[in-house]
């Protein structure tokens, strides 16, 4: 874009500049914002102050400038979410639902930038910062959507521009300059002097102008250059007539009442009310013009119709927005049928799968339970066998001990003749030992018997 910036409504801060990533970000953000112009300007100014102050702080903290910029922009979070935050601060309505449906494409460019900002490696072309690494995508996106940042997401596109070729504006008065323009375009010139004059009740037509070379400039740019103090001057070029006046003048004259049919749009299905639709139009399409925002255009509902009384550029925006809404509704309607069938199929398959899984699980559980019972029974049988064995051992031991005890008692009674005193004492000691051992064995046998009974009871 080499054309000089003559539009008074465009500010330096939102003018995309290859050198200033913050300005670039702000320009993209401004487009996502979709709030009335004056508010948008304040928000952008505030965010610019925030970003630049933050970057200064981060630079003091030791970051490089590209890093600091990236960090500061990243901290603001996702562009779309931030814009949504500001819009929601303005409204408590469910307008945002419609916004979500219809603003997706406008937001896409912003996402590209913010995603890039977050992901771009710190190294690389460090001096170029955001714009350098953004390369074709980022910059091209900005230039391609070279609209007014605050004109709303659905701002009318510029009409086909008339570009001048090897033309020089010489004047010396303003009226003569317009005559030269008419000659060049081969058109009769009508300037609405009263409308474009900067001073009330006094025409600017005799005022002198500086000569300038208009080669390659568009007609709109030349007119803005000729009328620097006029608010939004523009023109109509039809049937050999060039008419120059302000946008407000043409708006008032070209205002038409048009009806938009909304029948067939699945508003209820999508959870949208008529108020949502109207609110969205008022905040997304040329927000400043509507009566609700202090302008003069009106929008109302009449049965299944939306009645819009506004100039053509607003109608164009309304039409674009509603066609998006209709497309979304079609997708929803089509989606409903197909989705329902698909979901039904999926549900059936899921159910069959669940039943099969349930059966499998049940069989597995049954097998596992049987196995468990089997194992327990085996263990019980083994244990019982082991205990029985032990019982027998103990019984044998006891019998042996009783035998020994009896034998010793016998020896003590009759055989004292040939036993020495030491042998006798030895026998007494062994007897004592045996009797305590026998007590132990009896106690243990009782315990084993009890356990055996327990196990046998549990087994059945």
Residues in contact with other proteins by the rule CB under 8 A = 12-13, 17, 20, 42-43, 45-50, 52-54, 56, 75-78, 81-82, 85-86, 88-90
Nearer to other proteins, 55 or 102 (CB): 55
Alpha helix (H) residue ranges in 256-311: 267-270, 274-284
CB of 314 to other proteins, least distance (A): 25
Nearer to other proteins, 95 or 313 (CB): 95
Q: CA–CA separation, 100 vs 280, rounded Å?
A: 10
Nearer to other proteins, 81 or 367 (CB): 81
Q: CA–CA separation, 308 vs 282, rounded Å?
A: 11
Residue 11's nearest CA partner among 51, 43, 54 is 43
CB of 232 to other proteins, least distance (A): 23
Nearer to other proteins, 2 or 186 (CB): 2
- The conformational region for residue 232 under phi > 0 = left, psi -120 to 50 = alpha, else beta, is left
CB of 19 to other proteins, least distance (A): 9
SS3 371: helix
CB of 5 to other proteins, least distance (A): 11
Q: Which residues on neighbouring strands pair with residue 235, listed in sequence order?
A: 244
User: Is the separation of the CB atoms in 405 and 431 below 8 Å?
Assistant: yes
Nearer to other proteins, 60 or 457 (CB): 60
CB of 77 to other proteins, least distance (A): 4
CB of 139 to other proteins, least distance (A): 18
CB of 3 to other proteins, least distance (A): 17
CB of 45 to other proteins, least distance (A): 5
CB of 140 to other proteins, least distance (A): 22
Residues 6+ apart with CB under 8 A from 238: none
Nearer to other proteins, 132 or 311 (CB): 132
Q: CA–CA separation, 64 vs 59, rounded Å?
A: 6
Nearer to other proteins, 58 or 245 (CB): 58
149 φ, ψ (degrees, to nearest 5) = -55, -35
Burial class (CB in 10 A: 0-12, 13-18, 19+), 113: buried
Residue 214's nearest CA partner among 175, 252, 185, 255 is 185
Cβ-based neighbour number of residue 201 at 10 Å: 6
CB of 193 to other proteins, least distance (A): 34
User: Is the separation of the CB atoms in 297 and 122 below 8 Å?
Assistant: no
Q: Which residue has the tokens 């702080």?
A: 57
Q: Which residue has the tokens 């103090």?
A: 229
Sequence length of the chain is 460
Nearer to other proteins, 75 or 359 (CB): 75
- DSSP letter at 299 equals E
Nearer to other proteins, 5 or 416 (CB): 5
Residue 134's nearest CA partner among 47, 28, 23, 21 is 21
* Cα–Cα distance list, 27 to 14, 17, 31, 99, 397 (Å): 5, 9, 7, 20, 103
User: Is the separation of the CB atoms in 23 and 16 below 8 Å?
Assistant: yes
Q: CA–CA separation, 64 vs 117, rounded Å?
A: 15
Nearer to other proteins, 53 or 428 (CB): 53
Cα dihedral value 143, 145, 150, 151, nearest 10: 140
Nearer to other proteins, 139 or 431 (CB): 139
CB of 85 to other proteins, least distance (A): 3
Cα 39 vs. chain centroid, distance in angstroms?
24
């Amino acid at each position: 874009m080499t054309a000089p910036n003559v539009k008074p409504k465009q500010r330096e801060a939102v003018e995309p500049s290859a050198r200033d990533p913050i300005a670039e970000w702000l320009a993209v953000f401004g487009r996502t914002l979709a709030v009335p112009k004056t508010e948008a300007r304040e928000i952008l100014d505030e965010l610019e102050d925030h970003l630049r102050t933050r970057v200064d702080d981060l630079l003091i903290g030791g970051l490089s400038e590209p890093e600091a910029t990236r960090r500061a922009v990243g901290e603001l979070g996702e562009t779309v979410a931030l814009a949504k935050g500001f819009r929601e601060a303005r409204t408590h309505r469910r307008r945002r639902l419609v916004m979500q449906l219809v603003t997706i494409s406008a937001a896409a460019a912003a996402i590209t930038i913010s995603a890039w900002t977050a992901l771009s490696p710190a190294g690389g072309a460090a001096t170029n910062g955001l714009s350098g690494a953004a390369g074709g995508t980022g910059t091209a996106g900005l230039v391609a959507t070279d609209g007014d940042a605050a004109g709303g997401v659905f701002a009318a596109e510029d009409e086909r521009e008339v570009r001048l070729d090897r033309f020089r504006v010489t004047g010396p008065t303003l009226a003569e300059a317009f005559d030269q323009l008419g000659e060049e375009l081969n058109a009769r010139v009508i300037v609405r002097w009263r409308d474009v004059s900067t001073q009330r009740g006094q025409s600017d037509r005799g005022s002198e102008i500086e000569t300038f070379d208009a080669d390659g400039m568009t007609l709109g740019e030349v007119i803005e250059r000729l009328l620097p103090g006029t608010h939004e001057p523009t023109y109509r070029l039809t049937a050999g007539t060039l008419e120059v006046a302000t946008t407000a003048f043409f708006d008032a004259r070209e205002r038409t009442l048009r009806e938009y049919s909304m029948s067939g749009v699945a508003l209820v299905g999508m959870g949208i009310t008529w108020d949502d639709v109207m609110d969205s139009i008022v905040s997304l399409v040329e927000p400043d013009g509507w009566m609700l925002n202090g302008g003069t255009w009106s929008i109302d509902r009449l049965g299944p119709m939306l009645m819009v009384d506004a100039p053509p550029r607003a109608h164009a925006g309304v039409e674009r927005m509603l066609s998006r809404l209709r497309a979304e509704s079609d997708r929803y309607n089509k989606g409903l049928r197909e989705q329902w069938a698909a979901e039904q199929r999926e549900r059936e398959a899921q159910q069959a799968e669940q039943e099969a899984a349930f059966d499998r699980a049940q069989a597995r559980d049954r097998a596992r339970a049987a196995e468990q019972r089997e194992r327990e029974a085996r263990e019980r049988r083994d244990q019982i066998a082991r205990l029985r064995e032990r019982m027998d051992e103990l019984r044998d031991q006891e019998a042996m001990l009783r035998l020994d005890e009896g034998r010793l008692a016998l020896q003590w009674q009759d055989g004292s003749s040939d036993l020495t005193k030491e042998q006798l004492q030895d026998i007494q000691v062994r007897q004592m030992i045996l009797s305590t051992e026998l007590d132990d064995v009896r106690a243990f046998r009782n315990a084993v018997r009890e356990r055996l009974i327990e196990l046998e009871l549990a087994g059945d």
